[in-house]
Amino acid sequence: MTRTQRLFAITEYLRGRRTGTTADAIAERFGVTVRTAYRDLDALRLAELPLVAERGRGGGYALDRSYNLPPINLNAREAAVLISAGDWLARMRVIPFTSSLSSAIDKVRSALDRSAQRELQVGLESLAYVGVPARASREDVRSALEQAWFEKRVLTIRYRGADELVTERRVRLTRIVMERSETRINAHDLEKDASRQFLLDRIEKATVE
């Protein structure tokens, strides 16, 4: 994620909250240092975003209540289902596109007015999903896969095979198959000029060329 993308994502994140948030929470949410989070908040102020710092319980950094963009036509019920399902998918460690998914969830949440957001929160508290796959994948690997998939770029991966032998491959993604317990990556191996399939949890490192 570039800094410009992150600044836009932080704006959407703030719009989607009924209460303020801290620089620590922003840093954790977007995978940056607290110092970087403060710099990003300063950059948003310089861009004339109506950012305020509120004290007390529920305080922190927030957008001025008068700041809003035209919402999409979702009621609280529709938003609750979309957001709860999206949150669950993000926790399903087999899905590669968690960055885009989290950004989309923030945008859906931010499209609701404050009354609808309160109703949404009540709805979310009554929904629960259980069962997380045991085969976890690395966050940095998922991020690289997401970028390569949407930008149609070549990916260099370090892959641990069933025999525990680690090899490096240059591939172009062709299909991603997600099941409850694992994700399979179908790709074209550029060095061997052949189709190959890789398990997401066995990719130890991935770099977008």
Q: Who wins on pLDDT, 175 or 102?
A: 175
Which domains, ranges and CATH numbers included, belong to the chain? Answer: 1-68 (1.10.10.10), 70-132 (no CATH), 139-208 (2.30.30)
pLDDT band at 72 (very low <50, low <70, confident <90, very high): low
Average pLDDT over residues 55-81: 68
- Over residues 135-147, the pLDDT tens digits come to 778 888 988 988 8
Strand partners, 167: 159
Sign of the four-CA dihedral 98, 103, 104, 109: positive
- pLDDT of 113 above 70: yes
Residue ranges of alpha helices (H) inside the chain are 3-15, 23-30, 34-46, 76-91, 98-110, 114-125, 139-151
Gap between the Cα atoms of 115 and 127, Å rounded: 19
In sequence order, which residues have a C-beta less than 8 Å from that of residue 22 and are 6 or more positions away?
A: 60, 61
Mean pLDDT estimate for the chain: 82
Average pLDDT over residues 194-204: 93
pLDDT band at 118 (very low <50, low <70, confident <90, very high): confident
